[in-house]
Amino acid sequence: MHRFLGNPRADVYGVGVHPSIRSFGALIAVLFALLLPSAAQAEGGIRKGPWLMAPRPGAITVMVERDAPGAVLVRAWRVAPEGVSVGAPIEVRDEARVQLHEVLLEGLAAGVRYHYQVSGEGLTTTEGIFSTAPQHADSFRFLMYGDTRSSPSTHAAVVNAMRREGADFVVHTGDLVADGRVERQWTDFFAVERDLLRDTVFIPVIGNHELRNSSRQGIENFRHYVNCPPPDAPRPELDYVVRFGNVRMILANAYDDWSAEPMRTWLEDHLAQERREGPDDFLLVITHWGMHSSGPHGENRGLRAAGLPDLFRRYHVDLVVAGHDHAYERGEERGLHYMVTGGSGAPLYAQRIPRPYTRFFSSQHHYVRVDADGEKLEFTALRPDGTLVDRFTLRRPRSRNRAAAVTSTVVEHPVVLASASTVSSFETLSSGRRLHARRHREGAMKPRRFRTRDRSRWHRRTRTLPVHPSLPEPELVSADELLEPPPAPEDVITLPVPVMPSAAIRFPHPQLRPSPWHGVETHGDLGVGLLALGLCAAGLRGSRRRDPR
C-alpha cells in the first residue's frame, strides 16, 4: 500500500501537519495515512519499476531498480490478436551486480503488442505488456500530463484514470517531483506510477523542480531514471527525440540557452531532419515552460528571445506542448499552436493575464488523451472522474508536401483546428469583469452588477462564449487564414465541431479534489457548507445559554 495525504498543501514527505488541518476527523485521517506502510519499501525485491522507455520500431528498453544489487532476466513474447502469448520468447539477461538495470530488447516486430516478464534472484517475477513503435502512420493512443509534484493523492487519482485508457505511451511535461535532489520523492513518484508505467512507455521532459537551479544532484537523478534513444544532444537525456509512427517529438529543456551553440545547432538540425524524413508526419515540441501561457508563470521570455516561435513556424511544428502553469490551456499565435497541460497533481493556478492568443483555459486537474489515426490527432482533456474538459483535433492536409516549404520565408501552417464551442473556465474576477464589460458595450447583455467581493481569488462562472472576440466559435478557423489568403478548396478539411456533454457544461467544479480514499471525490464547497452549518448550530446553542429565561 502507498501513503497518500488528502491535503495537497500538507508536508507529504515528512510527519509535519499543516496548520489548516483543524478538524479532528481530518487529523485522524492524516495520522492513519502516516501509519500505512511506506512507499519506499521494496515489494518483491523491486524498489522501482519495471518501467518502459526509448520506444523504437524494433526495440524498447525495460528499466528496473532492485532493492539490492543483482542480475535480472527480461523475457518478451509476442501477443496474438486473440490476446495470448505466442512463439519463443526473446530473452536478455543483465548479469551486472547493480541495482538499476537498463535492459535493451531488440529484434522485435514493429507495431506489435508484447507480453514481458522481469525476474531474478531474490525478485518476485513481475509481468507487463508494451507496444513497439509502428514504422508508418497507424492508429494508436498516447496520453499527456505534467506537474505531478506535491500531492500524491491527486497524482494517484490522475494516474488511476490514465490506466483505464490503454495507451501505448505517456508524455510527461516535467516537474515529476517537488525536489529532484531528494531520492525519497523519486521513490514515491515511481510507487504512484508503478502500474501505469509497467504497461505504458514513459517519455518525460525535465522541469524546473528536477533542475533546482541547475543542481547537479537533481539533474543526475533525472538522468538516472531516464533512458532515451541514441543520445546525440549536448546534454543527453535532458534533450532528445522520439518517433512513434507518424508522430515525431522533440523534447527540449526549457532552461537551456537555445540562442547559442551548441544547443541551437542541435535543435535546428533535428527540426530539419524530422521534416525531411517525415514531411507529412506530425511534429510536436515538448518543453516544460513554453512560450505561451496566461497563467502565473506566463510566457518563457528566454525562448521567445531566442527566436524559437519563428523557428518552429519555419519548420512547421504542429504543436508545442508545455506544463509549468498548473492548468489546461490551448491557443494559437500566428499559425503556431500550443497546449499547456500541467494539472496532474500540483496545486491549481488561476488565469493571471488573459492573452489574445488563448482559445481555452481551465483550472482543472486533468490529463490529455491523444488518438492518432493517420491524418489526424484528436486531443481530449479529461478530469480524473472521466468528465470532459476540452476537445480539439489537428488534421494534416492532403496533397501538400511541407518539406518543400521549409526554406521558404512565407509561413504556411497547414493544420486545421476544430475547437470546442464552450468555455468552462476558472477565470479571475478581473478578467470576468472585463469580459462582462465588453459584452455590455457590444450589446450582448444587460448591465448587471457583480456581487462577488473584489478580494475573491476565484470567479466561478461557466461561460458559453468565445475567449476572444476575434475568434468566433464554433466556426472552423484555419491558421492559414491569419497569415495569407485562404488555401485552395482541395486543402480545406471540414471537421465536425465537438460538442461537450451538457453535464460537463452545466456543472463544472474547479475544486474537485481526490480524497485520501481512492474512488471517493470530495467537493470543497460541501465541506465549507457543513462547517458553516456547525458554526450556526454552535452559535444558537450559546445564545440559549445566555438567555435569562
Q: Which CATH number belongs to the domain containing residue 60 in this structure? A: 2.60.40.10
CB contact at 8 A, 329 and 310: no
**How much is the average pLDDT of 46-64?**
96
Least confident of 131-135, 197-201, 420-424: 420-424
- Predicted local confidence at residue 215, as pLDDT: 80
Q: How confident is the model at residue 42 (pLDDT cuts 50, 70, 90)?
A: low
Pair 117, 176 in one domain: no
Least confident among 36-50, 83-97, 431-445, 470-484:
470-484
Q: Is the pTM of this model over 0.95?
A: no
Task: Give the domain-ending residue among 131, 153, 176.
Answer: 131
Please name the amino acid found at residue 230: P
User: What number is the average pLDDT over the span 460-469?
Assistant: 33
Average pLDDT (287-315) is 97
**Is 530 within the bounds of a domain?**
no
**90 vs 427, higher pLDDT:** 90
Q: Are 205 and 242 in contact (CB under 8 A)?
A: no
Domain co-membership, 355 together with 438: no
Among 209-223, 325-339, 514-528, name the one with the lowest average pLDDT.
514-528
Tell me whether residue 3 is in a domain.
no
pLDDT of residue 343: 97
Range in 111-115, 173-177, 268-272, 480-484 with the lowest mean pLDDT = 480-484
Q: What is the pLDDT of residue 156?
A: 97
Q: Which of 86, 108, 131 is the last residue of a domain?
A: 131
Helices (H), 279-333: 301-305, 308-314
Residue 289, in any domain of the structure = yes
- What is the CATH number for 300? 3.60.21.10
Q: Is 173 in contact with 210 (CB distance < 8 Å)?
A: no
Q: Kindly tell me the burial class for residue 89, based on how many C-beta atoms sit within 10 Å of its own C-beta (0-12, 13-18, 19 or more).
A: middle
Residues 221 and 283 in one domain: yes
Identify the domain boundary among 79, 98, 131: 131
| Residue of higher predicted confidence among 345 and 526 | 345
Q: Do 74 and 165 share a domain, yes or no?
A: no
User: Which residue did the predictor score with more confidence, 39 or 255?
Assistant: 255
Mean pLDDT of 501-507: 30
Residues 39, 48: contact at Cβ < 8 Å? no
Is residue 124 located within the same domain as residue 147? no
Q: Which residue has the higher pLDDT, 374 or 177?
A: 177
For residues 448 and 531, the answer to whether their CB atoms sit within 8 Å is: no
Report the range of poorest mean pLDDT among 59-73, 150-164, 384-398. 384-398
Look at residue 222 and tell me whether its pLDDT is greater than 80. yes
Q: What is the mean pLDDT of residues 536-541?
A: 60
User: 182 in helix, strand or coil?
Assistant: coil
Provide the Cα torsion 161, 164, 170, 176; round to 10°: 30
Q: Has residue 144 got a pLDDT over 60?
A: yes
Residues 159-164, mean pLDDT to the nearest whole number:
97
11 domain residue, yes or no:
no
pLDDT value of position 44: 85
Pairing relation of β-strands 201-204 and 169-172?
A: parallel
Q: Rounded mean pLDDT of 380-397?
A: 94
For residue 546, the model assigns a pLDDT of 46
CB 328 within 8 Å of CB 295? no
DSSP string, 363-411: ----EEEEEEETTEEEEEEE-TTS-EEEEEEEEPPTT--GGGGTT-SS-
Q: Which residue has the higher pLDDT, 4 or 180?
A: 180
152 & 70 share domain: no
Pair 246, 374 in one domain: yes
- Most confident range, picked from 232-246, 401-415, 477-491: 232-246
- Specify whether the CB–CB gap between 40 and 184 falls below 8 A: yes
With cell 467581493, the residue in question is: 453
65 lies in the same domain as 200: no
pLDDT of residue 490 exceeding 90, the answer is no
Higher pLDDT, 240 or 467: 240
Least confident of 222-231, 363-372, 484-493: 484-493
Q: Is residue 529 predicted with pLDDT exceeding 90?
A: no
531 pLDDT tier (thresholds 50, 70, 90): low
Between CA 453 and CA 302 the distance in angstroms is 37
- Give residue 124's domain range: 46-131
Determine, yes or no, domain membership for 375: yes
Identify the band that residue 84 occupies on the pLDDT scale cut at 50, 70 and 90.
confident
Residue 545 within any structural domain of the chain: no
Bond before 231 cis per omega within 30 degrees: no
Q: Report how far apart, in Å, the C-alpha atoms of 197 and of each of 143, 168, 245, 321 are.
A: 12, 10, 20, 21
The answer on 104 and 66 residing in a single domain is yes
- pLDDT at residue 113, as a whole number: 96
Give the pLDDT confidence score for residue 414 in this predicted structure: 37
Examine the domain organization and report whether 318 and 205 are in the same domain: yes
Same domain, 437 and 487: yes
Q: Between 366 and 5, where is the model more confident?
A: 366
**pLDDT score recorded for residue 188:** 97
Whether 329 is covered by a domain: the verdict is yes
Average pLDDT for 1-6: 33
72 vs 25, 376, 546, CA distance in Å? 46, 40, 75
| Confidence band of 214 (pLDDT split at 50, 70, 90) | confident
The domain total for the chain is 3
193 pLDDT above the threshold of 60: yes
pLDDT for residue 57 is more than 60: yes
pLDDT at 82: 79
Mean pLDDT of the chain: 75
Grid coordinates of 198: 509497467
Residue 27 inside a domain? The answer is: no
Q: What is the pLDDT of residue 525?
A: 44
Q: What is the model's pLDDT at position 149? A: 96
Considering the domain architecture, whether residues 345 and 257 belong to the same structural domain is answered as: yes
The residue ranking higher by pLDDT, 212 or 411, is 212
Residue 203 has pLDDT above 50, yes or no: yes
- pLDDT at site 508: 30
Specify the pLDDT at position 407: 34
